Every structure is written in structure tokens, then in C-alpha cells.
Chain A
Amino acid sequence: SQTIHQWPATLVQPVGSPLSLECTVEGTSNPNLYWYRQAAGRGLQLLFYSVGIGQISSEVPQNLSASRPQDRQFILSSKKLLLSDSGFYLCAWTTGGNYGYTFGSGTRLTVV
């Protein structure tokens, strides 16, 4: 069966520090992968999506970046975190032709 792993669950980082969040999917090949961010009491904001290895599309210009070094691995990074980067980060996947996302359990990031 397919599963999605996202870690860490919570993270507290100082302003200006780097960030690396990892997401991996098991049990499927060539998934579409997505990173979303959710501020408290708000909807989900699409940050990046990838339809294949090395293919990254950015939805929102900001100090975050994403990479897909392997088929089932999606990484969200920042060189220097801002206070406004705080939020709930969610990774999701789906297969081509299917809109039914499966989300990871999320990472609660607090920048202090």
C-alpha cells in the first residue's frame, strides 16, 4: 500500500537559520508531489509541485525552495528563515490522472 512520510512533526527554528523538510512516498512510482503551507485559521497555500525528478514548479515567490532528488523524495528548504515562514507545512502526492491527494501528517514550524 502507498504511504507518505513527512518529518519532523514539529520544529522551532531561529530567524535566519536554514530549513530542510523532507517528504517521502512509498508504494508508488512517478507520483506528483506537492508542498503546501497553512497559516493558523487559514486555507492551504500551494508552494511547490513536481511532476517528475528535477522538475519543480513554484507557485509563490518567497525565500523557500524545493527539490526532488529522487522519484519519491521531495524536499523543502530555506537558506534563511523569516518569522513569516511559520506555519503548518504539508506534503501531498497523487498519481497522474488522479486528483485525489494523500497528505502527510504535516510539520508545525515556528520561527522565533
Chain B
Amino acid sequence: GESVGLHLPTLSVQEGDNSIINCAYSNSASDYFIWYKQESGKGPQFIIDIRSNMDKRQGQRVTVLLNKTVKHLSLQIAATQPGDSAVYFCPSSGSARQLTFGSGTQLTVLP
């Protein structure tokens, strides 16, 4: 998963452009991956998930890509909108379904 405890990396994109947020994970036994979005002052919200037997999964304007060879996960947001401005997390999972959230990526959509 992400580094834990570090300050947020940031990504700024123009409104209407596509956004790509990347995440590396360390546990090669992980079989399920989730992306969360957290808007300011709110709890994180589930965006999309993917199982390790898949390489790609698409939702509404979002696509998650999984590369198990290099243990890399990415979230692509098409036609980024101001409402997409938030912190995005890709937590790692534990044996009791506990999720470890790193510092996340702060996405800022520029007008």
C-alpha cells in the first residue's frame, strides 16, 4: 500500500483532462484492492474495487488498472470535474479485513 504517516503527495489537473493516480503495494498475496475518495471534512467513500484475477475494471468515469507483476495499481478518472477534488486512497488489507490507509494523494482540479 501507500506509505503510512507521510504528508500527502499532490496531483493537479485541468478540468476536463484525465487524471491518473498511482499506488504501489508490497504484499504479493493481496487478492483484493479498493480505491477510496475522501472529500474535505467527510469520511472516505468507496469508489471502485478489483480482484487480483483481473487486470482492469471500469466504473462510471473511473477505471482501475492492476499490474501484479510490478505490484502497481492505478486509478484513472476521465474528464475530471471539480467534484473530483479530494484525497484518494488505496489501502492495503489485513487478515481481519482491517485496512491500512497510507497518506493518500490529494487531487486538485484546476478551472
Contact = CB atoms under 8 A, between A and B. Distances in A.
Nearest to B8: A41
Interface residues of A, number: 28
A99 B96 contact: no
B97 A46 contact: no
B43 A106 contact: yes
A100 B46 contact: yes
A43 B103 contact: yes
A44 B8 CA distance: 12
Given A43-B104, A46-B100, A51-B96, A103 B43 contact: yes
Contacts of A103: 43-45
Contact of B4 (A32, A43, A57, A102): A43
Given A34-B98, A49-B98, A99-B97, A90 B32 contact: no
B5 A99 contact: no
A105 B43 contact: yes
Contact of B97 (A32, A36, A106): A32
Interface string B81-93: 0000000010101
Interface of B: 2, 4-5, 7-8, 32, 34, 36, 41-46, 49, 89, 91, 93, 96-104
Interface of A: 32, 34, 36, 41-46, 49, 51, 57, 59, 90, 92, 94, 96-106, 108
11 contacts: A34-B99, A42-B7, A44-B91, A46-B99, A49-B97, A51-B96, A90-B44, A98-B97, A99-B93, A100-B49, A103-B45
